[in-house]
Amino acid sequence: MRRSYKFLLRPTGKQAAALAQCLEDHRMLYNAALEHRRTAYGKAGVTVRYGDQSGELKHIRADDPAGQGRWSFSSQQATLRRLEKAFTAFFRRVKAGQKPGFPRFKGRGWFDTVEWPKDGDGCRWVSQPEHPTATFVRLQGVGHVRVHQHRAIRGRVKTVSVKREGSRWYVVLSCDDVPAQQLPATRAVVGLDMGVASLVTTSDGEHLANPRHLQASADRVAAAQQALARKKRGSKRRRKAVARVTALHAKVRRKRLDTAHKTALTLVRDYDVIVHEDLRIANMTRSACGTTEAPGRNVAAKSGLNRSILDAGWGVFLTVLAHKAESAGRELIAVDPANTSRTCARCGRCAKENRVTQAEFACVACGHAAHADANAAINILRAGLALREAADAA
C-alpha cells in the first residue's frame, strides 16, 4: 500500500525564511510557466507542453543562480508537472461538458506546497527510530530542518513535500510498500447512518457524538472575522487579522480530523464489515438561493443545514474510514441511501409518513417504532449485505 505521513517541522528563524522564499520562487515559476503557455497560444497558436518548459529550466537557473538556481531542479520540475496536471484536468472537463475552470495564476497565500519527487534528490529524510527527537529532513537551499516525528513511519519514503499552513510548516512523506496492519477478525457487521445530531448512528443502536467543532468556536471566529473586516486592505494589521482567522479555522479543521480518526478507529476495531451511505455531499450542500427568475425557498433553513453538514465533516470521516479499513483488512461497502430513512426495518413498508419527526420513526403499516437513524442504519446494513451476496454469487 501507499500511505502518507504528516509531521510538524521545527525550523529556525533563518530556515523558516528560506522555506518561505522557496515557496515564493516556486510560485513565481508556476506563474511564469502559465504566462508562457497563455502567450504562446494567444499570439502564435503554439501549444507548450511540460517537456518544452522542463527543457528551459537549466537556462532559467543559469540566469538566476541566487534565485531559482538555489533550489532543487527536481522540485521545480514537480511544480511544472503540477501546471501540466491543471491543464490536463481543464481539457478533460471541456470534453466532458463540465465547467472548465481554466488554470489560474497563484497569488500570495495560494501556493503553499513544494514537492520533491524522490527522496535523495534535492531532499533527504534522516530518521533515527531510537532517537525520535533527532529526526531531520534535509532540503536543498534550506538545510537540515528538525521534525517532530510523533509516530514511526512504515515502508519506503518515495516523495517528500513541504506544506505551509498559516504560521506552521509540515513535511508530508509519501511512502511505498507500507505493510497492512490487519486486525483480528470479530465476525461482526454494522450499518452506518450519517447524521447531524449524531455523527454516526450504528445498526446496533449506538450513537457516536458529533462535537460540532465550528459551532463551538463560532463566537471566536465571528469576532476575528469582524475585526478583519474593519482593517484597511494592504495594511500590516490586516495581515495579522487574516492570520488570526486562518489559525482559528485551522484549529477547527485539526479537531474535526482528530474526531474522524478516533471514530473510524473505533468502528474498524469492532467490525469486520462496515456498510455506509454513498453520499453526494457536494449536491446535498448546494445553496437553495436559486436564481432571480426562480428564487429558492427556505433559504435560511437550508443554509443552516448546509453549515451543520459541513461542520460534521462527513467527507473527512468517510475518507479516513476507507483508509483505516483498507489497512486493517476490513470490508467497506457503500450503498445507495435512497429511501433508507423511510423504509420500515421490520416489515419493509416504504412511506414518507413513517418518518414522524427527525428523530422518530413509526411505521404506518405495522406500528414498528424506533429511532429514525437506527432504523435507517439497519436498512443500510441489509442493503450492503445484499450487495455483498450478489457479488459473491457472481
Beta-carbon contacts of residue 266 (< 8 Å; ≥ 6 apart): 208
What local confidence, expressed as pLDDT, does residue 300 receive?
85
What local confidence, expressed as pLDDT, does residue 1 receive?
85
Q: CB of 330 within 8 A of CB of 273?
A: yes
In the annotation, is 373 catalytic? Answer: yes
In the annotation, is 24 catalytic? Answer: no
The SS3 call for residue 152 is coil
In the annotation, is 52 catalytic? Answer: no
Q: Divide the 394 residues of the chain into consecutive groups of 10 and give the mean pLDDT of each group.
A: 93 97 97 97 94 95 94 97 97 94 93 96 84 83 94 92 95 93 93 95 94 94 96 94 94 95 96 95 85 78 89 95 94 94 93 90 92 95 94 84
What local confidence, expressed as pLDDT, does residue 133 receive?
64
HSE-up of 249 (CA within 13 Å, CB side)?
12
Catalytic residue among 277, 278, 326, 336: 277
Q: CB of 332 within 8 A of CB of 324?
A: no
Catalytic residue among 84, 193, 272, 311: 193
Q: CB of 26 within 8 A of CB of 71?
A: yes
User: What are φ and ψ of residue 28, in 5° steps?
Assistant: -65, -35
The radius of gyration of the chain from alpha carbons, rounded to an integer in Å, stands at 25
What local confidence, expressed as pLDDT, does residue 217 receive?
94
Largest CA distance in the chain: 81
Strands across the sheet containing 113-116: 113-116, 156-165, 168-176, 3-10, 143-148, 136-139, 123-126
What local confidence, expressed as pLDDT, does residue 296 receive?
78
Q: Give the pTM.
A: 0.87
Question: From CA 135, how far away is CA 160, in angstroms rounded?
Answer: 14
What local confidence, expressed as pLDDT, does residue 298 receive?
79
DSSP string, 60-90: HHHH-TTTGGGS-HHHHHHHHHHHHHHHHHH
Encode 328-342: b = buried (16+ Cβ within 10 Å), e = exposed: bebebbbbebeebbb
